[in-house]
């Protein structure tokens, strides 16, 4: 079972959008997936409840016992954790449960600076696990045709964590699909949004494959 925690302690980074799309993308790749909502506000649970025939399994674990609680859940291929903003104990619990931490960051210097505390927590865990924990940034809510997306990648390099190649662009389809309890892959499968989310999903899945190859 591979566990991916989508974390950013600053709100508005597109965390839930990425978590729901990543979970659905992996499911469309024929993996057995569970989405865990660790945010007390319950955004992912609200999203799932809108759609009557919701294909994704979503559970809420909004207490700092995520790493223990997941041991009592039936084994899945992937568990995606939608992390809680501004909650140190929940973030730490999600990090302990994770094989990978994905950090969405908006292309803004304020958002880059705001990731500092989370990166420190992730790096501490990486040291404890002797590098077993993977972590990466993903540029989220980028505005097409602007230079700031490239600038933020240069700024993020200072944290010594990889930045994924796939960027998630700010698009109307994301809030629209969220209001319907679905994803861009379901509502407009041939859209640019669906394509970029599937690219992100495949890039992350490939990182796990590479790690397994190295361990072999």
pLDDT tens, position by position, 89-141: 999 999 999 999 999 999 888 899 889 999 999 999 999 999 899 999 999 99
Does this model's pTM top 0.85? yes
- Give Cα separations from 130 to 97, 120, 121, 215 (angstroms): 15, 15, 14, 13
pLDDT tens, position by position, 18-54: 999 999 999 999 999 999 999 999 999 999 999 999 9
Domain of residue 125 covers 2-215
67-72 contact pairs (CB < 8 A, 24+) = 67/93, 67/96, 67/97, 70/3, 70/36, 70/97
For residue 141, the SS3 value is: coil
Token match 């057995």: residue?
A: 32
The per-residue pLDDT for 161 is: 95
**Mean of pLDDT values over 8-26:** 94
Q: Contact, 83 vs 38, CB < 8 A?
A: yes
Q: How many domains does the chain have?
A: 1
pLDDT tens, position by position, 186-201: 999 999 999 999 999 9
Reported confidence tier of residue 10, pLDDT bands at 50, 70, 90:
confident
What CATH number does the domain containing 172 carry?
Answer: 3.40.50.300
Residue 79 phi, psi dihedral angles, 5° rounding: -120, 125
Pairing of strands 2-6, 78-82: parallel
């Amino acid at each position: 079972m591979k566990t991916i925690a989508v974390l950013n302690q600053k709100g508005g980074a597109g965390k839930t959008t990425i978590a729901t799309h990543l979970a659905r993308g992996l499911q469309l790749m024929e993996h057995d997936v569970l989405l865990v909502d660790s945010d007390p506000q319950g955004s992912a649970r609200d999203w799932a409840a809108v759609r009557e025939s919701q294909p994704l399994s979503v559970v809420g674990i909004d207490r700092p016992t995520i790493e223990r609680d997941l041991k009592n859940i039936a084994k899945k291929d992937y568990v995606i954790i939608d992390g809680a903003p501004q909650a140190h104990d929940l973030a730490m619990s999600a990090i302990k449960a994770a094989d990978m931490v994905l950090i969405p960051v908006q292309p803004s210097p304020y958002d880059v600076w705001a990731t500092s505390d989370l990166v420190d927590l992730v790096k501490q865990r990486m040291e404890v696990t002797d590098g077993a924990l993977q972590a990466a940034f993903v540029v989220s809510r980028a505005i097409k045709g602007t230079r700031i997306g490239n600038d933020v990648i240069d700024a993020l390099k200072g944290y010594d964590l990889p930045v994924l190649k796939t960027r998630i662009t700010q698009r109307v389809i994301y809030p629209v699909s969220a209001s319907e309890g679905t994803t861009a892959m379901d509502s407009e499968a041939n859209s640019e949004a669906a394509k970029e989310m599937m690219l992100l999903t495949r890039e992350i899945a490939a990182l796990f494959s590479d790690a397994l190859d190295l361990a072999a």
